[in-house]
Structure formats: structure tokens, C-alpha cells
Amino acid sequence: MWRRWNERGSLGWFEVRTRAGVYVLLAAVPVLAVILAAGQRQVRVPGLAVFLLLSVAQAGVCIALLHAGLGRYLAAGPPPKRWLVASAAALTAAGVLAGAAAFPAFTRPSGTAVPVSMLVAMLFGGALIVALTPLLSLRALTALFLVSAAAASGLTASVGRSGAGAYGQLLIAASLFYAFIVGVGVLTCRSSASTLRIMSELDRSRTEHARLSVAEERLRFARDLHDVLGRNLSLIAVQSELAAELARRGDQDAAGQMLQVRQVAHESLREMRAVVRGYRTADLGTELAGAQDVLRSAGMSCRVIGDAAGLPADVQAALGWVIREGTTNIIRHSDATACTIELHILDSPGAPRAVTLRMDNDRVHTQDAGSGGSGLAGLGERLAGLGGSITTGHPPNGHFRLEASLPACGATAVSPGPGQRGTGVTPETPAP
């Protein structure tokens, strides 16, 4: 159960819970209809059966209408079918008429209680207004609310016009009661829909931010390569054409031109390696700070525990790559809200000095973040060259953990033997 809850994602489950809370308002209509019938001293059985059936039918149609309205409100999709709106309105009117047929007290005012006509109108009219809430603007919703309140009051006044003078005060009180109950339902639905829209926009913004960050990094790398290689490649093309023309003429300078082409090509290769080396160099301190900034911009909290001071440069570079890959996986494969990065240096007497890096996040997505890709496999090979390893799994707290361990002596570690070759990734448990 908890596994399915985590796989659903925070936004998905928030939407499910919010929608369910609003749907319950409409699903309670048949229950309230039964309570209303149970409180009447006299009922007409055939009319009561129709009344209860119509309450169930109207609740179902209103839930479908509300579901379609929320979909349009959140995603600007197509409006609900006209027949669905017409069916909800027709069932509302039929339910009020069935109430008049089911309860003899419907046409007789009560001296102490809210009139039955008002309760029936509030039950069916309120359900229809709640179902229409996501489809209407605030002005139209307010107008519909006031019209429905006036219609319910007019209906009650018409069936109870033969009552005593005190009935007018009761009518006012009943109208206020109608406005309060239906108003609470409308506000609940409206606020829930607005909250869902804000959460959806935030999630889209988070996804767009991550996409733009990747695009910006690609543009930067492409710009650097263009600046470094563009001039040299153009020079190679020109000198190659010149060498070809000289060779066709039998000029001995053609060989000299090709040697210059080779020299430019070697220079271009060195410059390209410098660009790639600068791009691929992963300083541990820089990567820790970058991970915090990236995760926080994606809406997650990030806490770093430990210090990398005193570690060799190759060890810091390897752990920096672990941080970079782990951060990428959290953004791409999880719906995490918090991440903890711990760096432990084990320096016990009589034991080789070692360092362990752990990255824990509190939620993972359905896509397997620990297998199936080349990122962790490449990290395993990189760490294996330093005598280390990388594992993925779930600690007892149910979080997802990426853990890398390697000797703190760095490149002096023994290279892996034939029996140790592979990716170096050891899944403790299958990643979700």
C-alpha cells in the first residue's frame, strides 16, 4: 500500500485526496435524503421511493459533471457535454417535485423547524451549484447562488403562505440557513479547485525549469565547442583544399600543406580535450553547492553533512561525479521533497582510510532510478578504478539511498582484478 502511495507521486495523491474530498460533498446527498425522510412523521411511500432514487441519480450525475468541470478548470480542456449539464438540471427539478409528492408536510409550514420545502430545495439545488462551481466565473457563480436562494425562499413562501405571521421570521432564518450551507459547499469546491490549479502550475514550472537548465547547459557546451573548433576546422578545410590543388599540379609544397593540416588537427584535438576536461571535471565542493542550489530550485530541501577537506583530488573528482549523477537521478526519476547528502571519512587505527558518500531522498518514482541506465554503470566503472564501489537500495526508513565507498588514498588503490570487472554497481534491493 505504501509502495503504491509513493509511486503515485506527491502531486498525484494530493489531487486524488482533494478531488475525493469534494466528491464526498455530492456523494452525501442520498444519505442526507434518507435522514430527511427519516425525520418526517408522514410520508407517501411511492413518492418517497422516487425521491430517494432521484437523489442517488442526481448525486451521480453531479459528480460526473464536477469531475468534467475540474478537468476543464485545471487543464483548459473541452467543456462537459451539454446533455450532462441538462441531465443534472432536470434531475434537480425532478427531485424537488418528488419531495413535494413524498412529504405531506412539504406544503404545510412548520412552526419550529426549517420547512421541508427549504430542505429539499437546499439538498438538490445545492448539489447542482457545487457541481457547476468549476465551470462558472466568480460573478456567474455568485449570481446563480443568489438566484437559487431566492428561488428556494419563494418556493417555501408559496407553499406556506397560509401560515401564521411568525412564519415570515422562520422563512428568513431558513433562507439564511440555506445560504450558509450551500455557501460552505461552494467555497469548499472553489478553494479546492484553485489549490489544485496552483499546484499543477507549480509542478509544470518545476518541470520547465529543469528542462531549461538542461537546454542552457547544452547551449553552453555547444558554444564552447564552436568557439574552440570552428576556426581550426575552417583552417583545416582551406589548407586541405590548397594541398589537394597543389597535389594535382604536382607541386612538392602539397606535402608541407598536409603537415600543417596535421598540426592544426592535433591542436584542435588538444583544445577539444581541454574543453571536455573542463566540462567533465567534478570538484566535490562545487558539486555539493551546485546540488543544493539545483534541488532547492526544484522545490526540494537539501542538507549536506560532512566535509571533504583533506581528500585527494582524484577521490574528490570521483565523488563529485557521484553527486552530479545522483542529483540528476533525483530530479529525473523521483518526486522527492527532501534530500540528505552525508560524507563520512573513516580513519580508524589499523584500517585503511576510506570515505563514504550517501545520498538519501524521501520518495522515488515508478521508473527505476537504480538500473537500466548508463549513468550509474559509468560511475561504478570510475569508482572501481579507484578500488571503490557504488550501491543503491532502501534503508529501513523507506527512503532511496545511493551510496559510494572508496579508499581515501585515491589512485594508489589497487585496480580491480578480473573477478572484479563490471559496472561496480551493486543493488542492495531493486530500485523502485
| Whether 405 contacts 355, CB under 8 Å | yes
Q: What are the tens digits of pLDDT across the range 228-248?
A: 676 677 777 877 888 888 888
405-432: pLDDT as tens digits: 888 775 433 333 333 333 344 444 333 3
Tens digit of each residue's pLDDT (9 = 90 or more) over 282-339: 568 878 887 887 777 667 888 898 877 778 888 888 888 888 888 878 877 777 788 8
168 band by pLDDT with thresholds 50, 70 and 90? low
Q: Is the pLDDT of residue 193 over 70?
A: yes
153 grid coordinates: 425562499
| Rounded mean pLDDT, 254-262 | 82
Q: What is the pLDDT of residue 61?
A: 92
Whole-model pTM above 0.75? no
| 156 pLDDT higher than 90 | no
Nearest Cα residue to 98 out of 129, 63, 124? 124
Q: What is the pLDDT of residue 56?
A: 92
Range 414-420, long-range pairs (CB < 8 A, 24+ positions)? 414/387, 415/385, 415/387, 416/384, 416/385, 416/387, 420/384
The top-scoring range by mean pLDDT among 109-113, 183-187, 253-257, 400-404 is 400-404
CA distance linking residue 116 with residue 247, whole number of Å = 107
pLDDT, tens digit, for every residue of 81-129?
A: 888 889 988 998 898 888 888 888 776 655 556 678 778 888 888 888 8
Residue, of 259 and 112, whose pLDDT is higher: 259
- What's the mean pLDDT in 340-348? 85
